[in-house]
Amino acid sequence: MTVNERLAAEFHLKLDQVDKTVALIDEGNTIPFISRYRKEVTGGLDDNILRDLLDKLTSYRALDKRKEEVFNLISEQGKMTPELEAAIANARTVTEVEDIYRPYRPHRKTRASVARERGLEPLAQLMMEMRDRYEPPIEEEALKYVSEEAGVPTAEAALSGACDIIAEDISDNAEFRKYIRALTVSNGEISSKAADAEKESPYTQYYDFSEPLRKIPGHRVLAINRGEKEEFLKVSVTVEPSIPLDYLRKNVITNNDSPALKYVEGAIEDSYSRLIEPSIEREVRSNAFDAACEGALKVFEDNLHHLLMQTPIKGKTVLGFDPGYGHGCKLAVVDQTGRVVDTAVIYPHKPQEQTEKSRAVLAGLIRKHKVDIVSIGNGTASRESEHFVAQTIHDLGLDCKYIIVSEAGASVYSASKLAAEEFPDFDVMQRSAVSIARRLQDPLAELVKIEPRAIGVGQYQHDMKEARLDTVLTGVVEDCVNAVGVDLNTASGALLSYVSGMNKVAAKNIVKYREENGLFRRREDVLRVPRVGEKLYEQCAGFLRVPESDEILDNTGVHPESYEATRRLLSTFGYTEQDVRDGGIELLPLKITQRGREKVAQMLGVGVPTLDDIVKELEKPGRDIRDSYPTPELRSDVMDLEDLKPGMELTGTVRNVVDFGAFVDIGVHQDGLVHISEITNKFIRHPSEVLSVNDIVTVWVLGVDVRKKRISLTMKKPKAPKEEEQGKAKN
């Protein structure tokens, strides 16, 4: 099968559909552009499927490249056969290709290679013939290879060397390795023991642990790997040795009555224990780790998407509050446009405890700038700061709310070159306060300034392969940025760099051009910017917004290539662009339906999907798709961990979704865990089937461990006392 045929089969797509999609990718089109503006070509494939398809395309092409390399390497040795060529062609993974190449790969010095150098290969071949009788006997035949000069002092040494050759040949057999690898996965167990049973660690549950490889969930694989890396655990993969050894005996031994049997059997056992088992264990563990990483990446992708797409709180003045002790709490007020209008430092906590003075400063800023919301970071001193802010708002009767905001990544951003360029006169904590405020006003625009892995909505992300992690998470950010669209006149360079087709150089040039020449008046004006050519403009134009433009379509997701078709659409049904501005085209969808969507699309020279997208954009020009997501929950009071009681009903916000459950912020500075078994009464394979980051949920307290700061929650509504009694009576 060709690469495209494999993709079509795997994704259940038509071959023609895959051919056209792959052609678009090869032409240099970005995933967001293909997903949004080439639906007719791809058959409406969304960005998630397109990215998965691109991953597989890259993987299969790498496989084909390695097949070609191995074919050439074996051919250069003059050892290519029709059977080998067929085996290489039929290999489905790089591992299978490497198994085939293994016997032909230049070996480092091994026991077998030394034995071959000493001329013992003919003896090994003779033993593998497994004759009924040997004349002279094998032991006497071995005497012929004794040579002090060759380094074979005795017949026993000759036999041992020949067995080393047999052991390596068995280990290098591609079919044997493939079978034993599969056998290990289906029958093996991954086990862990404590490196030091007396030493406390987060991995105590794995100090005497064992689970079948085929059943162990990914998050446990990652936890065990980390425990091993931190030297708390010793990990191994075990399988009952008789299973693979019986398989090898059956496939290697051709004569159970041969005098060579004992030597061949010894070589088989040596091959498995010394060569095959350790190698297969490394491969199996590596594959389990890779699979666990991919699973964790999917969770991280989903969490990051929902975090970035949370509803911005628009049109509000926000005070960012970065909590702290000795160095004080840094405050930054940003106006409705995100511009920093004031900063301050207060010391309401130990050791200074300038409570009243700090209260006066906070209240003064709130009143002076008519602050609507105080955004408090959830880091060090957050709990005390929440008490302080809530008390100040209550005691002074301030018309203001507050919210606890995750400050994950804020310190990373604050110390970055980007933050230094944006706020050269601010110290690190002041920049952090600004970030905490802005991520409430426009989470997407602010969070793109932070390395995605530092945002903190994944599990074990620091253990994953950096390149793969960066590729996946960058794709999530790109999809979110392009789904929302970017204001060409206000977007930072960091935000612009994620726009389809854009690179960091072009993004910086756009910001520089804007600073030197003023606001962009039309989308097409971006072509005047250095390093922005026609191809880049084609890829990015539909995702840029210019609210100041006289052309209403410049503030929509309609691509410039469809402007003429859009104008003909409006004219056909008696509308003008002013009607679009005034929101007076509500009957357009009905008129198109009455005329026939296919007929209208054909008349305009576009596909039906493009027509539908144009109409959606005309209905709500300048719309923000994030407005349909749940809004953050604002508070005016405060509750402590000690206030929680079993059975208490609370409303919370999902902060993180992981394999084993979800962490929910219920307003006590410590997120509670809803275990996967407590999410719903229905069977689910993963919490993400029900929950997403930023969901507002109702939970009930199951238990509280104040000392360990652990909260157990459930989303299953507890039965009322009468219901319980009725249930018992039925039983």
Q: Which of 550-559, 612-621, 627-636, 657-666 has the lowest mean pLDDT?
A: 627-636
Report whether pLDDT(21) > 70: yes
Do residues 321 and 436 lie in contact, with contact meaning Cβ atoms separated by under 8 Å?
A: yes
pTM for this predicted structure:
0.82
Closest-CA residue to 42 (of 61, 27, 59): 27
Write down the CATH number for the domain with range 3-104: 1.10.10.650
pLDDT in tens, 651-663: 888 888 988 999 9
Q: According to the model, what pLDDT value does residue 720 have?
A: 64
638 against 623, higher pLDDT: 623
pLDDT band at 427 (very low <50, low <70, confident <90, very high): confident
641-730 has the same fold as 318-457: no
pLDDT in tens, 309-353: 988 998 999 999 999 998 899 999 999 988 999 999 999 999 999
CA distance 356 to 457: 37
What sign does the CA torsion over 84, 88, 89, 90 have? positive
Q: Cα-flanking dihedrals φ and ψ of residue 492, to 5°?
A: -75, 165
Q: According to the model, what pLDDT value does residue 399 have?
A: 92
Report whether pLDDT(6) > 90: yes
Q: Which of 35-49, 124-138, 374-388, 570-584 has the lowest mean pLDDT?
A: 374-388
pLDDT in tens, 269-303: 999 999 999 999 999 999 999 999 998 888 888 88
- What percent of the chain is predicted at pLDDT more than 70? 97
pLDDT in tens, 256-266: 999 999 999 99
CA distance 297 to 702: 30
Reduced to 3 states, what is the DSSP secondary structure of residue 651? strand
CA distance 723 to 547: 58
Q: According to the model, what pLDDT value does residue 98 have?
A: 94
Do residues 713 and 678 lie in contact, with contact meaning Cβ atoms separated by under 8 Å?
A: yes
Q: Which residue pairs, CB below 8 angstroms and at least 24 apart, start in 410-414? A: 410/322, 410/377, 410/379, 410/435, 410/436, 410/439, 410/450, 411/379, 412/450, 412/451, 412/454, 413/449, 413/450
Element (H, E) at 68: helix 47-76
Report the pLDDT averaged over residues 667-681: 89
CA distance 603 to 596: 11
Report the pLDDT averaged over residues 536-559: 96
Q: According to the model, what pLDDT value does residue 673 have?
A: 95
Report the pLDDT averaged over residues 219-231: 93
Closest-CA residue to 579 (of 521, 616, 619, 523): 619
Q: According to the model, what pLDDT value does residue 637 have?
A: 65
Report the pLDDT averaged over residues 542-549: 95
Task: Return the amino acid letter for 716.
Answer: K
Q: According to the model, what pLDDT value does residue 106 have?
A: 86
Q: According to the model, what pLDDT value does residue 638 have?
A: 62
pLDDT in tens, 432-471: 999 999 989 998 999 898 888 787 666 667 778 888 888 8
Report the pLDDT averaged over residues 549-562: 95
Q: According to the model, what pLDDT value does residue 731 have?
A: 45
Report whether pLDDT(50) > 50: yes
User: What architecture is the 318-457 domain classified under in CATH?
Assistant: 2-Layer Sandwich (3.30)
Report the pLDDT averaged over residues 202-219: 94
Q: According to the model, what pLDDT value does residue 467 have?
A: 85
Element (H, E) at 99: helix 94-101
Evaluate whether the domain defined by 641-730 bears CATH number 3.40.50.300: no
Report whether pLDDT(509) > 70: yes
Report whether pLDDT(515) > 50: yes
CA distance 153 to 137: 19
Reduced to 3 states, what is the DSSP secondary structure of residue 635? strand
Do residues 7 and 68 lie in contact, with contact meaning Cβ atoms separated by under 8 Å?
A: no
CA distance 705 to 549: 58
Q: According to the model, what pLDDT value does residue 639 have?
A: 66
Mean pLDDT of the chain: 91
Reduced to 3 states, what is the DSSP secondary structure of residue 234? strand
Report whether pLDDT(127) > 70: yes
Domain boundaries, the chain: 3-104, 318-457, 641-730
Report whether pLDDT(603) > 90: yes
CA distance to 40, 493, 508, 622, per residue, from 559 (Å): 15, 22, 23, 14
C-alpha dihedral, 460 to 461 to 467 to 472, nearest 10°:
120
